[in-house]
Structure 1
Amino acid sequence: MSQRIGNDEVGRLARGALLPSFDGPSVPRWVLDELERGLGGVTLFALNGNVPGTDELAALTARMRTAGAPLVTIDEEGGDVTRLGGHKQASPYPGNAALGAVDDVALTRRVYRSLGAELGAVGVNLNFAPSVDVNTAADNPVIGTRSFGSDPELVARHAAAAVAGTQEAGVAACAKHFPGHGATVEDSHLGVPVVDADLELLDRRELVPFRAAIEAGTRAVMTAHLDLPGITAGVPATLSPAVITGLLREHLGYRGVIVTDALDMKGASGAIGIPEAAVRALLAGADLLCLGPREHHESLLAVLAAIEDAVASGRLPVERLADAAARTAALKDWLAGSAPVPVDRAAGLDAARRAVRITGDLPAFPAAPLVVELAANGNIAVGPTPWGLSAWAADAVRAEGTPDEAGDVLERATGRGLVVVLRDAHRHAGQRALASALLAARPDAVLVDMGLPVWRPEGAVHVATYGAAQANARAVAEILGLTN
């Protein structure tokens, strides 16, 4: 069949499977040209300067639609992984960990519907969310608060609610990271994490939320760059027919669009390069290929050449490209029939307030307390979005997280309350060391953990927010009396 289709048609089919990126707040000419030639869409990144503001973003997406009907995709999970604020401000919606802590599926649906409404208003039509990973590894460096929790059934019911809410807003949901990134202790941006699970374990843990998302009608599923030794035999899941075609298509019966996580990540292309990873992902059964934040026109052309060569050699059947194109077309048809819904930001603050958990008795602060925010390394998925309580505090200081800093902090806090703000303290020895030193001298200090509250010193007054979004920060600031 490949011999009966011309090179132009093969090129168009290949373009339809690609989601490149670009720099800046306006659409480059090459993107418009490629859209006219059949490019599937683009992925927007705050770090690329694509999101300077909502008005500018709406204008950018409208400009793209003068050249075609692109899928405009973004990583907007709410919570710690947010792009709509351009990394200049945190999200008004708490993330999945907070929603899981509340465990009200109607509220989760409401939050995701409002988040979808915000995306639809600026022209984004495919959101790379929700993350439906079951976070069973406490030291997971890349999921954490992005997960609804460690219980598969809890994650499943909220996965379904998140999908439903997003798609009620006319935006396609994308359940990720298949077959599940929650049991890993390595970041797939930097390597190939291993999930040591056979099919029986996957069926009762990782795959439970994906089944729920599929039953809820998710329009897309994103693959992860993971190695499941018993299933993939050393091949990352994104490049594995056993995972994409075997597990997702045949075992779970999924018929919608399958999109890869960014192919520039080391877990996918570190050993073989992005063009070869693209060909292998298509061969495995993927329909859309997210190339990554630095993969612009030159990378697009290299990937196109690799796909066209694979078709010409007979390695990649053109039917596989046509199959991917048909699924993408069906997704675009669904999007064409969607209608906007109103934004409901009150849902975010409601959820954040209900998620706060307090251990011990909060002291009454007669005067403004000193707020000490301890440094916490983020991950690539989260990015440099600001976090903490300093925006609400009359007096706040940042600390790197060493016991040597305790003396200066204690002196500054003399005669008033002390609030110590942590983030995933169980993953940061420096945070634990400094917090312990402060508690030894000031047992009345309040610890606020804006990550997962795994580390809770015995006897300490501890406040857990389950995330570092703007909504989480405001909720705890109200409780501590830091707001007006």
Structure 2
Amino acid sequence: MIRPESTLIIDLPGADLSAADARWLAAHPVGGVCLFARNITTPDRTARLIREVRAALERDVLIAIDQEGGAVLRRLDVPPPPTPQALGALADEDAAFRAGQIAARGLLDLGINWNFAPSLDVNVDPLNPVIGERSFGTDPAQVARLGVAWARGSEAAGVLSAVKHYPGHGDTRVDSHEDLPVVNKSRAALEAAEWVPFRAAAHAALGSVMTAHILYPQLDPEWPATLSRTLLSGVLRGEWGYQGVIVTDAMDMGAIARRYPGGQAAGRALTAGADAVLVCGHGDRSVTDAHVRALRAAQASGAVSEARLHEASARLRLAEQRFPGQVQPYRAGQQALDQTDLLAWARAALRVQGNGPRLDPAAPVVLLAPSHTALGGPYGDHVTPAQLEAALRPHFPQLTTADLLDEAAARQATRAHPDAPVLLASTGRWGATPQAQHLAATLTGRAWHLCLWNPDDAAALPLPAIVTHGFRSPNLQALAETLIAR
């Protein structure tokens, strides 16, 4: 008899495997473990955590993570893959393939063998709260071409990809981390846009697909995609012939957990066609335990058949065999080569809009950057004023920095240096701040708007802009070079 928890992908509370968690894993042969930023510390410590997880489960289990690139990265001490949107700006399939390889090399270095990436969502709605720069663009054909190339690069380097979020999260105004989005589109509309990349991924036989917690009432008026037999077994498996692993997005997200508490949806996801049920308690083991109980009850009642459990478990075991988690060190020489590629791509993707003031390296420059920004959704970090200052000060030694969120302090800094050019930085995902909007009106003719995260912010302020398509180290180096050259 198959243990139903063998279909669960769970999380861990911290950077080390406690004795209690090791005992829990030994008693529950889960299908895999998903790591988050809280689990990633020094390379040696994280590698030890992964080894101990595998020892507790007594097999080369799947270890997953979200290492998409750009703003969605969990490991930060290796060369950072670019945002998919930046790769979309390059429109270079070879660059996308190599970006997938770079992401994979930073994971296999620790023994991580499953990347919940890339996003194949078409950026249909620019006000979508959770996609944006995570998408390769607005053109479905380009998203398909670049996204499949990225995933193939990852898998060629030894890391199972998980294209997401099927059937498409690009046209929502609701964050599924919080509530259930509804996309009331016809099948024909979906086939013309959102489905184009996922159909290409299925035909390319990529290793896994992650579902979206979204209701598509014109296809299934009752069940969100994660729980929809129509969309998983019908379209993805039946019509497109996909035979890889189907993994759910996290079942503790509000879109599912609020409607189906206590793990009720886990069995339904399996019967709909999913093979792996991702559940994250974020330190609360009772969340995982509830899903184990729910799956065991579904098995005992016959709601989830033995045949379905066997099929799901077999797909996960096959993925383990195809993508073993044997550590492959990320050598310094390879990292240097990858950094060269990343800098070249950052330079090529950077966009200058309008004509701003010239910056004199020997004269004062004022940097206005917010001390913090709201994150939410899948995001874990942002660029800080200290990081910006560290990137710019070597080129502009008389740089003065003020907190953009403290409007009085920001105005004081610009008045103290009335002839100095100003760099007004947008570092958040959710639009230009009110303080930035107020200050921009007073800085006409003397300021650049540094658009470091959301490219759409460039249109929000009446200033010439430098759009970097990201805030990682290659982006900041390309930014500094651009400012010096202008």
Structure 2: stretches of 5+ with no match in the other structure: 393-398
User: What is aligned with 1:45?
Assistant: 36
State the structure with bigger RCO (CA 8 A, min sep 6), 1 or 2: 1
Question: What amino acid does structure 2 have at the position aligned with 1:372?
Answer: L
After alignment, is 329-338 or 131-140 more displaced?
A: 329-338
Aligned to 1:15: 5
Structure 1 CA distance for aligned equivalents of residues 78 and 364 of structure 2 = 24
* Distance 1:54-1:438 versus aligned 2 partners, 3 A rule: farther
Q: Whole-Å Cα distance in 2 between the matches of residues 327 and 175 of structure 1?
A: 16
Using the alignment, how far apart are the partners of 1:83 and 1:449 within structure 2?
22
Instruction: Judge which range, 170-179 or 318-327, deviates more.
Output: 318-327
- Shift in Å, 1:274: 4.3
Match of 2:449 among 447, 450, 463: 447
Shift of 1:210: 1.2
Question: Is contact 2:404–2:435 with CA below 8 Å preserved after alignment?
Answer: no
Structure 1 equivalent of residue 61 of structure 2:
70
* Cα shift at 1:376: 4.0
Determine if contact 2:108/2:325 at 8 Å carries over to the other structure: no
Contact kept? 1:170, 1:338, Cα under 8 Å: no
- Equivalent position SS for 2:391: coil
Residue from 412, 416, 420 that aligns with 2:420: 416
TM superposition shift of 1:299: 2.7
1:172 paired to 2:160: yes
Q: Which amino acid aligns with 2:190?
A: L
Give the TM-score normalised by structure 1: 0.89
- Partner residue of 1:465 out of 458, 468, 476: 468
Q: Taking structure 1 as reference, are residues 215 and 348 closer, same or farther at Cα in structure 2, changes over 3 Å only? A: farther
Q: Where in structure 2 are the equivalents of 1:355-370 lying within 5 Å? A: 355-366=349-360, 367-370=363-366
CA distance in 1, matches of 2:172, 2:413: 36
Q: Considering only aligned residues, what root-mean-square deviation do their CA atoms show, in Å?
A: 2.5
CA distance in structure 2 between the partners assigned to 1:152 and 1:452 by the alignment: 20
Matched, 1:383 2:380: yes
Q: 2:304 aligns with which of 316, 319, 328?
A: 316
Q: CA-to-partner distance for each residue in 1:261-291, whole Å, 9 max, x for gaps?
A: 1111001111221410212211211111110
The 5 Å alignment of 1:49-448 reads 49-66=38-55, 67-85=58-76, 92-294=80-282, 296-336=284-324, 340=328, 342-343=334-335, 344-366=338-360, 367-374=363-370, 376-387=373-384, 389-393=388-392, 394-400=399-405, 407-423=411-427, 427-428=431-432, 430=434, 433-439=437-443, 442-448=444-450
In 1, Cα distance between equivalents of 2:100 and 2:170:
21
Identity over aligned pairs, percent: 33
* Partner residue in 1 for 2:480: 477
Aligned to 1:173, what secondary structure does the other structure show? strand
Distance 1:91 1:438 in 2: 38
Residue identity in the other structure for 1:117? R
Task: Kindly provide the CA deviation profile for residues 147-195 of structure 1, in whole angstroms up to 9, marking residues without a partner as x.
Answer: 1111111111111111111011100000001111111111100111122
CA distance in 2, matches of 1:61, 1:337: 9
Question: Given the superposition, is the C-alpha separation of residues 166 and 309 from structure 1 closer, same or farther in structure 2, using an over 3 Å criterion?
Answer: same
CA contact (8 A) 1:370 1:412 kept: no
Distance 1:438 1:58, change over 3 A: farther
How far apart, in 2, do the equivalents of 1:430 and 1:94 lie?
A: 28
Give the secondary-structure state (helix, strand or coil) at the position aligned to 1:255: coil
| Counterpart in the other structure of 1:26 | 16
The 1:16/1:295 distance shift into structure 2, 3 A limit, reads farther
Structure 2 counterpart SS, 1:261: coil
Query: Could you tell me whether the CA contact under 8 Å between 1:119 and 1:125 is conserved in 2?
Result: yes
SS of corresponding position for 1:230 = coil
- CA separation of 1:396/1:91 partners in 2, compared to 1, >3 Å: closer, same or farther? farther
CA contact (8 A) 1:422 1:431 kept: no
Residue 459 of structure 2 is matched in structure 1 by 456
- Residue 122 of structure 1 aligns with an amino acid whose one-letter code is L
